[in-house]
Structure 1
Amino acid sequence: MFKSGAVTIEVEDLNKAEQFYVETLGLKVQFKIEGHLVQVEAPGLAIGLVQPRAGQESHSGKSGSIHIALEVQELDSAVKLLESRGVEFQPIMEEGATKIAYFSDPEGNPLYLIELKH
């Protein structure tokens, strides 16, 4: 029934958000609507970065009810790579068959890397 999925995040500074998701995290740009939207992709996930148009209320970083997970093969090396690019992580958590490292984008939106031990 479903073909694919996407998450949309409101941001106040579209250029800064694009730089973080593309240059820091290494995601690829799918398409842009100049000054309003940049959609980036990770394997199996599209993330729309939307800057409200003039006169529209912004909800950027206010909710905290969404967390974006990016699965990695090896968490420790992914954390080291992103730390070298300026990303600050909370302490790595291990529980059962998972290792998780939480961080935030420049707008304060929560993300985490997860390693699933198979």
Structure 2
Amino acid sequence: MFKSGHVSVMVADFKKAVQFYVETLGLKLQHETDGHFAQVEAPGLTIGLLHLTGEQGMQPGTSGSMSIGFEVEELESAVETLKSRGVEFHDYVQGQAARLVHFSDPDGNTLYLICNR
């Protein structure tokens, strides 16, 4: 049914957002258009970073109803790598089937790492 997935994230500071997703998280920059749109890729997920000027559409980091998860093989090593790049983690969640740790992008959008058991 579904071929692939894409998430659009509204950002306030375009350069800072691209730097975070590409350099800090290590995602691959697919393309960038005029300082207003960039597409980055994680395995199985494409993320569009969108900077709109003025009062157009959704505002960055305001909804709280969306989060982006990145599945990792080993949670502890992924956390240490991102901590060394300046990421601050909010909390760790130990579930029966998976462990999660939450953090935010520069606009306050919720992201998380997940490691399935």
TM over 0.5: yes
Cα distance in structure 2, aligned partners of 1:100 and 1:88? 14
Q: Give the total of aligned pairs.
A: 117
Letter of the 1:91 partner, please give it: D
Please give the residue correspondences for 1:1-118 in structure 2 after superposition, counting only pairs within 5 Å: 1-54=1-54, 56=56, 59-117=59-117
Change (3 A) 1:44 1:53: same
Q: For the Cα contact (< 8 Å) 1:61–1:107, is it kept in 2? A: yes
Q: Distance in 2 between matches of 1:83 and 1:38?
A: 24
Alpha-carbon shift at residue 57 of structure 1 (Å): 5.3
Q: CA deviation at 1:53?
A: 3.5
After TM superposition, the score normalised by the length of structure 2 is 0.94
Q: Identity of paired residues, percent?
A: 55
User: CA 1:55–1:110 in structure 2 vs 1: closer, same or farther (change >3 Å)?
Assistant: closer
Deviations 1:41-90 (A, max 9, x none): 00000000000045635511110100100000000110011001100002
The unaligned stretches of length 5 or more in structure 1 are none
Please identify runs of 4+ aligned residues in structure 1 that moved more than 4 A. none
**Aligned counterparts of 1:57 and 1:100: Cα–Cα separation in 2:** 31
**TM-score in terms of structure 1 length:** 0.93
Find the aligned partners of 1:55 and 1:73 in 2 and give their Cα distance: 40
Structure 2 gaps of 5+ residues are: none
